[in-house]
Amino acid sequence: MAPPLEYEALAGYNRGVDAVVDIRGLVKRFGKQVAVNDLNLRLDGGDIFGFIGPNGAGKTTTLRILATLTAPDAGTVAICGHPVENTEAVRPLIGYMPDFFGVYEDISVDDYLQFYARIYRLDARQRTHAIKDTVALTGLTTLTERPVDTLSRGQKQRLGLARAMLHEPRLMLLDEPASGLDPEARIEFREIVCELGRRGTCVIVSSHVLADLADMCNRLGIIHQGTLCWNGETGRLMAQGAEGRPVRMRVVGDAEPARQFLLAQPDVREVVWDRTDLVFRTTGDDDRVASLLRQIMDRSVQVLSWSPQEPTLEQIYLDVLQRERVAR
């Protein structure tokens, strides 16, 4: 078994003087159910934080508390130094895109954004600049005269993001923003989020599309049963989080001798068939991977291809959750 992950919930407190997000000891209960349990998190401007966990783990509850829509039961939550209870100070600093949001479909894209720009109390000059910049960033420039009800799902998602960022918030909260999007739309959405980070916006993204998070987030957090069991840099999670390195092999003829050999190795786990390939994971280093190949070939197995791979975020996430379940 791999060594336990380093818990970094408090390690970020020296990363900057004025944190965009500063959560300490957050607790939220719904009746007897603890939705969020002693959660600590600090994020700075430019951080893109991927928030991962099973359904019901506490992701949406945490985002709603940050959005000032749900009150915490214990702990402190501050946005740019302002406690979330001070809604007048906090709400102008945040943009919130929930997992399900409504759009007024009988108006144009421009009218829709004009309406929300007025809600954000932008004057006429500010509205013109904000809408022009926002539609350019979200790829809606050629669609401003289109009725909202004629937009595709991906275009409506981009419109929802544009609405949330019109007032240039310091913090963007995105709850399952890629839900239901096709691959091309997800790529476009990911590029927009990365640009927000480059502009210095702090972004928290809750998503089940883990490949997208690995590509765009510089920090990741895994939450399980309300507890943040990992919080740190994406690279560190990818380096430390997996229990074993995946190896994919294809053989000519009978692969059973190779399978039986691998099953007998103490540092090998999950020996499975994946269509035409034998896939397993080993906790050994490069020398050990090379040794396994030599020993398999010594058994007269004809190896057509042998491909050590880097673990995916999905594999790491499942390993972390499994360790949490065992620990509990």
Using the CB atoms, write b or e for 58-75: b if 16+ within 10 Å: bbbbbbbbbbbebebeeb
Q: What is the per-residue pLDDT for 10?
A: 35
Compute the distance between CA of residue 73 and CA of residue 26 in angstroms, rounded to an integer: 8
Q: What is the per-residue pLDDT for 320?
A: 81
Would you list the DSSP string of 270-328? EEEEETTEEEEEE---HHHHHHHHHHHHHTT-EEEEEEE-PPPHHHHHHHHHHHHHHH-
**pLDDT by residue, tens only, the chain of 328 residues:** 333 343 333 333 344 457 999 999 999 999 999 999 999 999 999 999 999 998 889 999 999 999 999 999 999 999 999 999 999 999 999 999 987 766 677 899 999 999 999 999 999 999 999 999 999 999 999 999 999 989 988 888 899 999 999 999 999 999 988 777 788 888 888 899 999 999 999 999 998 878 888 889 999 999 999 999 889 998 888 776 677 788 999 999 888 899 999 999 999 988 998 878 999 989 888 899 999 999 999 999 999 999 988 778 888 888 888 777 766 6
Compute the distance between CA of residue 233 and CA of residue 3 in angstroms, rounded to an integer: 17
Q: Which residues 6+ apart lie within 8 Å of 239 measured at CB?
A: none
User: How many CB atoms lie under 10 A from the CB of residue 19?
Assistant: 21
Residue with tokens 């603890």: 34
Provide the pairing of β-strand 202-206 with 48-52: parallel
Is residue 174 within 8 A of residue 139, CB to CB? The reply is no
Is residue 58 within 8 A of residue 226, CB to CB? The reply is yes
> Can you give the pTM of this predicted structure?
0.80
Provide the pairing of β-strand 268-274 with 219-224: unpaired
